[in-house]
Amino acid sequence: MARWGMAIDLDRCTGCQACVVACKQENNVPFSTPAQAEKGRQISWIYIQTEIEGEYPNVKVRFRPMLCQHCDRPPCTFVCPTSATYKNEEGIVAQIYPRCIGCRYCANACPYSVKYFNYDEPHWPKQLEASLNHDVSVRYGGVIEKCTFCSHRLTKAREQADAEGREFRDDDYQPACVQSCPAHAMVFGDLDNPHGTVAAWSESPRAERLLEDLGTKPKVMYLKGGA
């Protein structure tokens, strides 16, 4: 079984937000209205966090794509009263929307604040309804949602490999954000594959995990930005 993980090189990230747009499109994440934004209720499975260091004129801005860290010891799955959120056998922290009761305990327990609650029913401009992705279920009001590492793509890639009568290779599957990154700042793959790029990147001396000291064992690696 693979153990899927991601590595992001912050030196390469330009903060262009292509990953954000690709994710919204791929995963049927609804547009936030200005009213929702004002109340702090936007849903964005991945977003660019800007970290500003220093004061003018010696200012440094860093960008950090923030998404579910797919912890190996996720605080969110422990507290879910109905097992609606759980870690699957390939290490992806998943969410079963029809079982979620909307108590938001997982969202409070997540130290990365990357679980989102549907305060309202999802909404798209009429023209865009036709472009919804049929591989991903549309969530309704009252449930939690989050990044799934585009696990529907994994299912599809496996089926494709089966149909072609060949072995499934871990480069058959990539989440939308990784695929769309123009700066090649993100790589994705099996952390247990010693020859894979993700494994190589995570060996880098620059590699760090976010809030690693909490013991959550995240599977998203960040390669620290240089000076």
Partner 1 sequence: MPHLDSQQALKQDGAIFRPIMKPTRGYAAIVCALLAVIAWAAYAYWWQLRRGLGMTGLNRPVYWGIYITNFVFFVGVSHAGTLISAILRLCRAEWRRSITRMAEVITVLVLFFGVGNVLLDLGRPDRAFFVITHAHFTSPLLWDVSSISVYLIGSVIYLFLPLIPDLAILRDVATGWRKRVYRLMALGFTGTEQQWHRIEKAISVMAVIIIPIAVTVHTVVSWVFAMTITPMWHSTIFGPYFVVGAIFSGIGALITAMVILRKVYHLEDYLRPIHFNNLGILLLVMCMLWLYFTFAEYLTTWYGHEPIEMTVFYAKIRGPYAPYFWTMFVTCFIIPFSILCNSRTRTITGTFIASLSVNIGMWLERFTIVVPSLSNPRLPVEFHMYHPSWVEWSLMAGCFAAFILLYTLFTKLFPMVSIWEIREGREVAVTETVERIKTYLPMEPKGEVAK
Backbone angles phi and psi of 185, in degrees to 5: -85, -15
Between residues 156 and 217, which has the closer beta carbon with respect to partner 1?
217
Q: Which stretch binds partner 1 (CB under 8 A): 95-103, 164-172, 181-189, 197-205?
A: 95-103
Place of tokens 């079963």: 96
- 62 neighbors 53 (Cβ within 8 angstroms): yes
Does 104 bind partner 1 (CB under 8 A)? Our answer is: yes
For residue 216, give the nearest of 103, 84, 91 by alpha carbon: 91
Does 18 bind partner 1 (CB under 8 A)? Our answer is: no
Place of tokens 């599977």: 219
Binding mask 115-154 for partner 1 (x = CB under 8 A): -xxxxxx-------------------xxxx----------
Strands in 4-9's sheet, in edge-to-edge order, are: 186-190, 4-9, 220-223, 207-209
Work out how close the CB of 41 gets to partner 1 at its nearest, in angstroms, rounded to a whole number. 5
- Considering only residues 80, 93, 147, 220, which one is a binding residue for partner 1 as defined by CB under 8 A? 80
Query: Cα(139)–Cα(167) distance, rounded to whole angstroms?
Result: 33
Query: Cα(60)–Cα(203) distance, rounded to whole angstroms?
Result: 26
- Considering only residues 90, 105, 197, 208, which one is a binding residue for partner 1 as defined by CB under 8 A? 105
Which residues are at the interface with partner 1 (CB under 8 A)? 39-42, 49, 51, 66, 75, 78-84, 99-105, 107-109, 111-113, 116-121, 141-144, 210-211, 214
